[in-house]
Structure 1
Amino acid sequence: MRQRDWIVPYVKQYKYRMLSILLLSMLTVGSAGALMFTSGYLISKASLQPETILLVYVPIVLVRAFGLGRSVFRYSERLVSHDFILRVLAKMRTRLYHLVEPKVGASLRYKTGEILGVLAEDIEGLQDLFLRTVLPTASTLLLYILTVIGLGFFSIPFALLMAMYLFLLVVAMPLFSLFHMKAVHQAYKKQKNDVYQYVTDGFLGISDWLMSGQKKNFFDRYYQMEQRLDQMGRRTKTWTYYREFVGQLVIAAMIVSMICFAASLVSNDQLAGVFIAAFVLVVFPLSEALLPVSNAVEKYPRYEESLNRVTQLENECAESVSGVNKQEAYTASLSDITINMNGLHFSYEGDTMEALKDVTFSAKQGKKIAIIGKSGAGKSTLLKLLQGVLSPTNGTVSINGFEASAITNDTPKLISVLNQNPYLFYTSVANNLLLANEHASEEEIIEVMKKVKLHDYIRSLPDGYNTSVHETGQRFSGGERQRIALARVLLQDTPVVMLDEPTVGLDPITEHDLLSTIFRTLEGKTLIWVTHHLVGMENMDEIVFFEEGRIKMRGSHQELLHESEHYRKLYELDHPMHLEEVK
């Protein structure tokens, strides 16, 4: 089972650390028990007023030694256990990153909130599975066995009686707690996951919530979800209270039994009277070690839910990878690129309709292609296939003979994208540019900024290229953000550039200036431009119209003007208006 793959490998890899933790745990409990035993003996012996201090000197030294030993062993156990857990946690997070990162934007069925839930909640849940369940349970079972064996040297019947008490604490109560709380933990986990998704969606769409005047409704629903979580938490605390009360009753029964057993040994002259308190006091550190096991085991359903979600994500990624070629290194030219699509079909999982149907075209280096169509026509899907993020259902997508989905590790060397909402990070202009090429020199940065006609403006700012762009680039206008993003594309210097409606939301004058800059600065590069209107089509070598996933018509601007009445009407409706506004 894949669930075991998230537990067993780490146990095997760090088995010596786990053995060290168990040993230190036994030494901690042993020191605590020995401390109480010698303390009980010392108190009893001192109460008899010994003739000389030498008769209690050894117990005094042992009390000090075991008192220090308990603290030292406990601290050492915590150090080793947290070292073990942090190592496992680092391995898990790295493993999860390598699972998810190649599939970002692919056909994973996970929402952003669910991915955040796995990253923030479930991996830490697996950490707690080791720290709060696996290790304490293993230590308790080992302590159970050693305690019963140790008591057997004094009396087998009494050892069996204590084994029964310990069985209630170590096995019966934890299992009852496990089954009782399983449904509660699953409901709690589901509710918390719903909160993650709701908050994530709300954050991503915060502007729409505010503009629609529904902010109060959003927060009211969020508070209701949090209240349900609180109610579940209170029910869990109530159950814990009653469970611990029953555990204390069992401990009380153990103490009474231990008093009776020690008294019977004294009455039979098998034990000195000063040892009665010593034997009874040992029960307290023993109970302190045994009682938490119920709490540890009952949390397993919560961790199991995390385990299932992480495993499901791994399975999802594995299924996604199974339909994609294994990664291979791109070894062809980085300057002369030919893109081919042949008989391409694609449909998203669960959809009966194909997003793309029998698409065939090619683009040699330097060719400029415009992809036009209504929303849902398949334009964005086509770009994802070209980037290798998706794999075709049928047909091929290749770059210089390499399948696009098989060379995604090298895609950033070949393809760069300028989309309608380029993200600028809350840092300096220079750092945002260096994202494309961290080794770029100051001269190279200045050169690309001159090409996009922003160098003089940035230089005029008080901090120059160290000027902060502010959150999401709000320091600059929409056109300026697009120019900075274009400079980043130039700095990346790929032979193929995809333009995903980069002028959406810009006024006609800014749009015209930006398009002029794009065509001028990207001369010689292959351009694949997704757009929804026809401004700038005269600069394109080929125009491809998509409708319901199929190529409806294609050709150069002049060919379509002469041959297609539909194109001519669209151009007349769109182009003159923009020309007039630009003038």
Structure 2
Amino acid sequence: MQLLKKFIRYYKPYRAVFFLDLVCALAVSLVDLAFPQILSILTKTFFTEQPDVIISGLLKLGVALFLMYVIRTLCRFYITYQGHVMGAKMESDMRQDLFDQYERFSFSYYDRSNTGEMMSKLVSDLFDISELAHHGPENIFISAVKIIGSFVLLLMVNVPLTLILSAVVVVMVVFSLYQNRKMQETFMDNRRKIAAVNASLQDSLAGIRVVKSFANEEIERRKFETSNQQFLVSKESNYLRMGIFHSGNNFFEGMLFLTVLVAGGYFIARGTLSATDLAVYALYINIFINPIEVLIEFTELLQKGISGFRRFTEVMETVPEIQDAPDAKELTNVKGTIDYKDVSFRYNDEESVLEHINVHVDAGRSVALVGPSGGGKTTLCSLLPRFYDVTGGSVCIDGQDVRTLTQESLRSAIGIVQQDVYLFGGSIQENIAYGKPGASMEEIIEAAKEANIHDFILSLPDGYDTYVGERGARLSGGQKQRISIARVFLKNPPMLILDEATSALDNESEQYIQNSLDKLAHGRTTITIAHRLSTIRNADEIIVIDNDGIRERGTHDDLLAKDGLYAKYYQMQFRNN
């Protein structure tokens, strides 16, 4: 019932269409029920009149029936057209809600979730929900009207025969309910398996360059084949249950006709039922069975829709781990003073990544974090914009705990340049403008100039309208990095995080990028993560972090003079160079 209430909520904006759809469904059902009754009445009255009377009345009868079926046709058109549109709109609403929910989740959700599975919930699951949203109420309502209406009319023809018929129907219903429960289990398994197929496909295609560089197409083929075969096995199990369900119900439908024929013949022999009434009874049996067949066929759609909606609600009911506090404030008049106060952090139930870290950065100053991979440098930076929340201590900006600030205002004040640059499908102009939606072309060009990428863009055939390809595949690493820097220039934040922004570049590209980063960092509070120690010599403070926490801190010259861990890293790096 809770699931049903959540589903019904999506009908609310379309109540007028929904109720008119049911009115049309009622009209269609009444017309279908009326024809055998009209035939029965005409057989006993009108068709017993003189030929002249019959011929003169046929025109009126034909016009009345014609109008009746015109109304039925218009109602059927409305049901098919507007009913489907309503379902599509509900699907669109659910898809938007699901996407918005995905956007609310913090990094930790994506750390443990697969993109392919999330896309499966967003696309294929919701299509089945849309079909259920349209056909569900309509099929149930039409079937209910026809079953109840035809049952009443059958009772009017012959009560004993109808009661015998009811016994067969009861057995049929019990069988259907049992098989229906079994089918639901297989449909849920189908959902999980197709999500695994999507996940395997997304993983393989996203990493296709790595796949081909290692000539591992066969490995990927086998991985996909495994998930694909598991889905096939699940579908086979599903179709087995469907086969039992449909064939069993077809058998019971045959038993209904058999019951009518045998029991009807018996009542005719006893003189309690006329042959004419049995013929009318047979017409109503067809009307009685047809909605049962519709409900049987609808069961597959129902199970698909329910399993899809259940997966949908699982996501919608997941509480985002990072949320604005009820009394969260806007971060305004940002100076950029940063404080990590006794900060500790762990991922879920894993071992601690950070323990009792204390760092102070004055506004406009620069701090560099160095140390081995896995020491917690990127994690420390991720706590500042609240991509994760501390498990101990606090992170403050201008004396305000970041957990007391709205996420939007907090992240708007921080620019991030990462090693792994992500460019969206679209033009160079659109990717730079991502740093400030609605920016003018002049602002975009100025940002590109600041990032030393303007001249390169103008050398392209389409200039700023050049399509970058998926994830920027048409550009080099240095070109993508400078576009990402232009984005941050356009954003113009008071605080900056540079996460190994030059470590994956060649020396020439690094020099270009470093000049752009130096210009970007000027006058901003900057935290830099670097493996190339040559890029951080001028930092106001360098902090050496490893798995045991902060090991050393000071300026470049101070740390070299200490001849400690930093000096060891520096000598190793430049000796290798």
1:137-216 pair list within 5 angstroms = 137-169=140-172, 171-216=173-218
Letter in 1 for 2:566: Y
Partner of 2:572: 573
- Structure 2, unmatched stretches of 5+, are none
Contact 2:168 2:256 in 1 (8 A): yes
Q: Partner of 2:357: helix, strand, or coil?
A: strand
Q: Quick one: structure 1 residues 475 and 188, their matched pair in 2 at CA, closer, same or farther if it must change by over 3 Å? A: closer
The answer to whether structure 1 residue 31 and structure 2 residue 31 are counterparts is yes
Q: Quick one: structure 1 residues 429 and 542, their matched pair in 2 at CA, closer, same or farther if it must change by over 3 Å? A: same
Partner of 2:77: 75
- Structure 1, unmatched stretches of 5+, are 579-583
Contact 1:107 1:349 in 2 (8 A): no
Q: Quick one: structure 1 residues 396 and 539, their matched pair in 2 at CA, closer, same or farther if it must change by over 3 Å? A: same
Letter in 2 for 1:328: A
Q: 1:239-270, CA deviations, whole angstroms, 9 ceiling, x for partnerless residues?
A: 54454344344334444555678889999999
- C-alpha displacement of 1:354: 0.6
1:134-533 pair list within 5 angstroms = 135-169=138-172, 171-237=173-239, 239-255=241-257, 276-297=278-299, 300-318=302-320, 320-321=321-322, 325-326=325-326, 328-334=328-334, 336-351=335-350, 353-405=351-403, 406-533=405-532
The answer to whether structure 1 residue 117 and structure 2 residue 120 are counterparts is yes
Partner Cα separation in structure 1 for residue 17 and residue 437 of structure 2: 40
Judge which range, 14-23 or 441-450, deviates more.
14-23
- C-alpha displacement of 1:502: 1.0
Partner of 2:554: 555
Contact 1:327 1:408 in 2 (8 A): no
- C-alpha displacement of 1:515: 1.1
Contact 1:434 1:440 in 2 (8 A): yes
Partner Cα separation in structure 1 for residue 275 and residue 64 of structure 2: 20
Q: Quick one: structure 1 residues 111 and 244, their matched pair in 2 at CA, closer, same or farther if it must change by over 3 Å? A: closer
Partner Cα separation in structure 1 for residue 279 and residue 380 of structure 2: 81
1:3-22 pair list within 5 angstroms = 3-4=3-4, 6-10=6-10, 17-22=17-22
Q: Partner of 1:316: helix, strand, or coil?
A: coil
Judge which range, 273-282 or 254-263, deviates more.
254-263
Partner Cα separation in structure 2 for residue 417 and residue 43 of structure 1: 84
Q: Quick one: structure 1 residues 215 and 128, their matched pair in 2 at CA, closer, same or farther if it must change by over 3 Å? A: same
Equivalent pairs, count: 573
Q: Quick one: structure 1 residues 59 and 232, their matched pair in 2 at CA, closer, same or farther if it must change by over 3 Å? A: farther
Identical positions, percent: 23
- C-alpha displacement of 1:137: 3.5
Partner Cα separation in structure 1 for residue 317 and residue 408 of structure 2: 21
Partner Cα separation in structure 1 for residue 207 and residue 299 of structure 2: 40
Kindly report the root-mean-square deviation, in angstroms, between the aligned alpha carbons of the 2 structures.
Answer: 3.4
Partner Cα separation in structure 1 for residue 471 and residue 415 of structure 2: 20
Contact 1:423 1:473 in 2 (8 A): yes
TM-score by length of 1: 0.87
Contact 2:342 2:393 in 1 (8 A): yes
- C-alpha displacement of 1:225: 3.4
- C-alpha displacement of 1:215: 0.7
- C-alpha displacement of 1:491: 0.6
Letter in 2 for 1:174: S
Judge which range, 494-503 or 416-425, deviates more.
416-425
Q: Partner of 1:498: helix, strand, or coil?
A: strand
- C-alpha displacement of 1:219: 1.9
Partner Cα separation in structure 2 for residue 438 and residue 321 of structure 1: 24
Letter in 1 for 2:21: I
Q: Quick one: structure 1 residues 540 and 2, their matched pair in 2 at CA, closer, same or farther if it must change by over 3 Å? A: farther
Letter in 2 for 1:525: R
Partner Cα separation in structure 2 for residue 84 and residue 124 of structure 1: 13
Contact 1:175 1:298 in 2 (8 A): no
Contact 1:430 1:445 in 2 (8 A): yes
Letter in 2 for 1:370: A
Partner of 1:581: none
Q: Quick one: structure 1 residues 398 and 183, their matched pair in 2 at CA, closer, same or farther if it must change by over 3 Å? A: same
Letter in 2 for 1:222: F
Letter in 1 for 2:148: I
Letter in 2 for 1:495: P
Q: 1:36-61, CA deviations, whole angstroms, 9 ceiling, x for partnerless residues?
A: 55568889988999454235445434
Partner of 1:101: 103
Contact 2:560 2:566 in 1 (8 A): yes
Partner Cα separation in structure 1 for residue 168 and residue 58 of structure 2: 33
- C-alpha displacement of 1:326: 4.1
Partner Cα separation in structure 1 for residue 64 and residue 393 of structure 2: 80
Partner Cα separation in structure 2 for residue 241 and residue 53 of structure 1: 51
- C-alpha displacement of 1:173: 3.8
Q: 1:6-41, CA deviations, whole angstroms, 9 ceiling, x for partnerless residues?
A: 324335665665444333323223223334555688
- C-alpha displacement of 1:155: 4.4
Q: 1:64 aligns with which of 62, 66, 83?
A: 66
Contact 1:165 1:254 in 2 (8 A): yes
Judge which range, 452-461 or 258-267, deviates more.
258-267
Partner Cα separation in structure 2 for residue 39 and residue 235 of structure 1: 46
Contact 2:176 2:249 in 1 (8 A): no
TM-score by length of 2: 0.88
